[in-house]
């Protein structure tokens, strides 16, 4: 596996060290829900729970899938108390940006619901990780795709929230590692497939594990890289 930086999770790391338990909520978007995954066990949240269980064999780590189809950040906010707050999570993995692009909302104003969502999640006492859009044919044709990725990175830096750079990671698979889109995306040119969900889960587990084991003084950094070795 290509080495990736840690995702800083100070509160979750302390909770895990103290209690041996952790609740992670994977929030929204159809790729979180696992559209076109061959089974619920092949979604990225399910695979992430398996990977984290292997990395922390003495702990109880639960990953709750709160994926949903076609929702953007403002819609996420309206449902957040029920979908996230009620679960009392330690970490929230929030996929943002893709549906705003698909709906042609553009970048302008997209930062406001992100900031509001981060504030709300912090109010639950949870650490936040933003996950930017997937590198897929339907996404990259939008001229706002790269500006959206930059906006998410800027918001993460401003709010001191780590960003998992899914866009850059998948672009590396395609451009450097020569993995064709049909291998890493469904035929609709948008959603992932079992391969992409598995690689995302293992890459994310690697970066989360580094953060959960790391001292709280380590800086927040974004994660990107090639798919883990299969």
Question: Mind listing the pLDDT tens digit for each residue in 186-210?
Answer: 777 677 888 889 999 999 999 999 9
Number of domains in the chain: 1
pLDDT confidence band for 170 (50 / 70 / 90):
very high
CA pseudo-torsion sign 85, 162, 47, 102: positive
For residue 181, count CB atoms less than 10 angstroms from its CB and return exposed for 0-12, middle for 13-18, buried for 19 or more. middle
177: its two tokens: 């590692």
Q: Say if pTM beats, i.e. exceeds, 0.75.
A: yes
CA–CA dist 54, 45 (Å, integer) = 14
- Which CATH number covers residue 114? 3.40.50.1110
pLDDT tens digits, 93-141: 999 988 778 776 678 878 888 999 999 999 999 999 999 999 999 899 8
In a domain, 2, yes or no: no
Residue 132 structural domain: 10-213
CA–CA dist 25, 23 (Å, integer) = 7
pLDDT score at 29? 63
CA–CA dist 99, 102 (Å, integer) = 5
Place of tokens 């999570």: 89
């Amino acid at each position: 596996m290509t080495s990736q930086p840690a995702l800083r999770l100070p509160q979750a790391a302390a909770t895990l060290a103290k209690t041996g338990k952790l609740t992670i909520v994977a929030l929204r978007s159809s790729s979180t829900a696992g559209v076109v995954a061959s089974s619920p066990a092949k979604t990225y949240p399910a695979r992430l729970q398996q990977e984290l269980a292997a990395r922390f064999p003495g702990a109880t780590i639960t990953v709750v899938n709160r994926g949903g189809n076609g929702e953007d950040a403002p819609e996420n906010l309206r449902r957040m108390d029920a979908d996230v707050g009620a679960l009392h999570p330690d970490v929230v993995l929030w996929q943002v940006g893709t549906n705003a692009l698909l709906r042609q909302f553009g970048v302008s104003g997209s930062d406001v619901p992100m900031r509001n969502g981060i504030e709300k999640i912090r109010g639950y006492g949870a650490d936040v990780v933003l996950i930017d859009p997937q590198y897929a044919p339907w996404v990259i044709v939008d001229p706002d795709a790269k500006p959206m990725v930059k906006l998410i990175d800027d918001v993460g830096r401003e709010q001191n929230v780590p960003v998992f750079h899914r866009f850059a990671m998948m672009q590396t698979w395609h451009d450097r590692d020569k993995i064709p889109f049909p291998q890493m995306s469904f035929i609709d040119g948008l959603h992932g497939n079992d391969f992409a969900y598995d690689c995302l889960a293992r890459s994310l587990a690697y970066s989360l594990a580094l953060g959960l084991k790391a001292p709280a003084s380590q800086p927040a950094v974004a994660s990107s890289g090639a798919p883990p070795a299969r």
